[in-house]
Chains A and B, each alone.
Chain A
Amino acid sequence: MHGTLDIRQRPEDHFLDAIRDRFPVEAEIDRTLSRKMRLRASGDVYAAHSLDSLIEGTASLIRANVGDDFTISDARWLTGGASKIQVAFELEWQDGSARRKAPMVLRMEPNESVVETSRKREFELLQALDGVVPVPPCFWVDPDGQHLPHPALIYGFAQGVTKPSDLPSQQVTGIGLNYGPKLRAPITAQFIEHMARFHRMGAELAPRLPSFDGVEVGSNASVIRLVNWWRRVWEEDRAHDEPLMTVAYDWLIANAPPIDHVSLVHGDCRAGNFLFTEHDARITAWLDWELALLGDRHQDLAWSMMDPYSHSNEEGTAQLINGMLPYDDYIAAYEKASGLTVDPARLAYYRVLCSYLSVSICLGTGYRVAKGAKTHQDIVVSWLAMISYPIMEQLRGTLKEVL
């Protein structure tokens, strides 16, 4: 803004306190978002970190966990994604009685991220999912930025690609990803089987996730908390308000459905958010669990069915949901794999919610982060803000159907 006071650019305590009171969220999410706002109040912008300084912090974190007997080599920047700073390196260390050597990744937050999330939650989740679905092994976490400039975690480097290497598209974050006719069927089968598995296991995994608030079958309290999470983000980050967002929030609160089964929800469940090896079309690691929560499986289904993730088949005869299957086949395959039903009314509810939170992220936080020069990827998040309008039309269309 030109010369006008923008309270969100340098928020004061009373502004944050009012938002916290009005839109209560999960405890760890409250902690994470409040930390973001207090850091923003300091006015710091992103200053590029040198590779050497991040490796120094990485070494400090590893030392605190395994002692002095380790070596780090071949450190290099990693690209991909729009939110976190990532560095790949080789680590050799003493693991109990065994000498181990493995490729690793440091994943650290910038000053502010297009999605502000908890490394503590991500660490717990990756530990809990080991052996459930393929995930990168997660070794150490720096939840409060004690060793590194900002909260970070270290996980094992997983082999594979997020999109076919001969794909011409250079679109960011895998949107509109086309696996092509050869890879599509085997990738789809594994994607749906894995998603079904972690959706079935929410209650079973919950005790291993202490930083996640509990979810109760028959209650909609957790759904209202989730809606408030994204309203809070919108209130903290947006430029100006949007009447359609106000209408959507009111509707989401008034119509929040009670949970009928506790699922582990990935939160960004779609093509492009897992690695696969091209020679055997095998999914090797599910990525980007930072938005995960205990909740309703329809959230992941609706997210994966968002318009920007679909494309037409080669014949031009059908739209492939998530670049995978036509709508009815996608639902049928999920129900068969999970043994859980898909309720069209819940799916519509979560389509509204997913559109709402996408606009909060892309139009709200995407704008705020770039405006404040808060990340290493300002140009990426600014580019992503442009996706807000097709998603707003999806939000508008779905609201028109359900009202």
Chain B
Amino acid sequence: MVPDSDLQLQVVIKALREAVGPAIRADEKVAQEQLHLSLATLGVLRSQLPMTRRFIRALSSDALDLAGKLGALTASQALSAPREALEAALADPSRENHEIEAARSALMDSTCALIETLAPDLADQARRVVIDASAMPIERQRAWFIGSGFESAPDKVRPIETMLEA
């Protein structure tokens, strides 16, 4: 495919940096800031694009893992249908990324709704399950957005490539 997505992003970044940027007056602070962030956003996006589907699948796997653990703990069937819907989306190669994301969102919403209905003794155990099971998806997302520069100790976050290995 010529031009591919990476090439298209490359040329947009080059045009903004080399032609548009110098044409903005130095005292146009708002425009300068937004150009800087536009270039940074495109840079982050360009690094993420090739891994997007694997990333979405990994987050889906995390959501299924948590739902499975809570289902086992509570013996509730409340998550069965949204779990099956997400599993079906993952198993079907014709499903687009946004369809998988919609199924994952539905499972996350149902998971939260289940937690809110738990009796105190189960709720306490469920909290610990959530806290432990959240470690992986949070670390994946920290690694995914490492290019934002918001990590105070970025070297402590594993590279995203290693976190998406099968």
Binding site for B on A (CB under 8 A): 1-2, 4, 77-79, 170-172, 175-176, 239-247, 250-251, 307-308, 310-311, 376-377, 379-380, 382-383, 386-390, 392-393, 396, 399-400, 403
User: Contacting B98 at CB < 8 Å: which of A1, A79, A377, A380?
Assistant: A1
Interface string of B126-150 (1 = CB under 8 A from A): 1110110111001101101100111
24 contacts across the A-B interface (CB closer than 8 A): A2-B102, A4-B102, A78-B29, A79-B29, A170-B36, A176-B150, A241-B109, A241-B111, A242-B112, A243-B115, A244-B131, A244-B134, A244-B138, A245-B112, A246-B116, A250-B116, A379-B37, A387-B150, A390-B142, A390-B152, A393-B138, A393-B142, A396-B134, A403-B127
B residues 1-55 near A (Cβ < 8 Å) are: 29-30, 32-34, 36-38, 40-41, 44
Find chain A residues with CB under 8 A from B58 CB: none
Find chain A residues with CB under 8 A from B116 CB: 246, 250
Q: Are A386 and B102 in touch, CB under 8 angstroms? A: no
CB distance from B117 to the nearest CB of A (A): 11
Q: Are A383 and B102 in touch, CB under 8 angstroms? A: no
CB distance from A19 to the nearest CB of B (A): 14
With both beta carbons as reference points, the residue of chain B lying nearest to A85 in the complex is identified as B30
User: Contacting A251 at CB < 8 Å: which of B33, B112, B127, B145?
Assistant: B127
Interface string of B86-99 (1 = CB under 8 A from A): 00000000001011
Find chain B residues with CB under 8 A from A77 CB: 29-30
Query: Given the interface contacts A240-B108, A241-B109, A379-B41, does A396 sit within 8 Å of B138 by beta carbon?
Result: yes
With both beta carbons as reference points, the residue of chain A lying nearest to B34 in the complex is identified as A379
Which 10 A-B pairs rank lowest in CB-CB distance, beginning with the nearest? A240-B105, A386-B148, A79-B29, A241-B112, A386-B145, A389-B141, A387-B150, A2-B98, A246-B112, A389-B142
With both beta carbons as reference points, the residue of chain A lying nearest to B147 in the complex is identified as A386
Q: Are B128 and A390 in touch, CB under 8 angstroms? A: no
CA distance A251 to B38 in the complex (A): 38
Q: Are B152 and A308 in touch, CB under 8 angstroms? A: yes
Name 10 extra pairs, CB < 8 A, besides A242-B112, A383-B41.
Answer: A1-B98, A170-B33, A176-B150, A377-B34, A379-B34, A383-B40, A390-B151, A392-B138, A393-B139, A403-B128
CA distance A246 to B151 in the complex (A): 24
Q: Are B150 and A390 in touch, CB under 8 angstroms? A: yes
Q: Are A389 and B112 in touch, CB under 8 angstroms? A: no
CB distance from B118 to the nearest CB of A (A): 9
CA distance A240 to B29 in the complex (A): 35
Q: Are B109 and A240 in touch, CB under 8 angstroms? A: yes
With both beta carbons as reference points, the residue of chain A lying nearest to B140 in the complex is identified as A389
CA distance A240 to B138 in the complex (A): 15
Find chain A residues with CB under 8 A from B128 CB: 403
Find chain A residues with CB under 8 A from B96 CB: 2
With both beta carbons as reference points, the residue of chain A lying nearest to B99 in the complex is identified as A2
User: Contacting B127 at CB < 8 Å: which of A175, A250, A393?
Assistant: A250
CA distance A377 to B34 in the complex (A): 8
CA distance A383 to B127 in the complex (A): 30
User: Contacting A243 at CB < 8 Å: which of B36, B106, B134, B135?
Assistant: B134
Find chain A residues with CB under 8 A from B33 CB: 79, 170, 172, 380
User: Contacting B37 at CB < 8 Å: which of A2, A247, A383, A400?
Assistant: A383
- Tell me, yes or no, whether B66 is within 8 Å of chain A by CB: yes
Find chain A residues with CB under 8 A from B112 CB: 241-243, 245-246
- Tell me, yes or no, whether B123 is within 8 Å of chain A by CB: yes
User: Contacting B152 at CB < 8 Å: which of A172, A246, A307?
Assistant: A307
Q: Are B38 and A379 in touch, CB under 8 angstroms? A: yes
Q: Are A387 and B131 in touch, CB under 8 angstroms? A: no
CA distance A400 to B36 in the complex (A): 38
With both beta carbons as reference points, the residue of chain A lying nearest to B96 in the complex is identified as A2
With both beta carbons as reference points, the residue of chain A lying nearest to B152 in the complex is identified as A307
CA distance A72 to B33 in the complex (A): 27
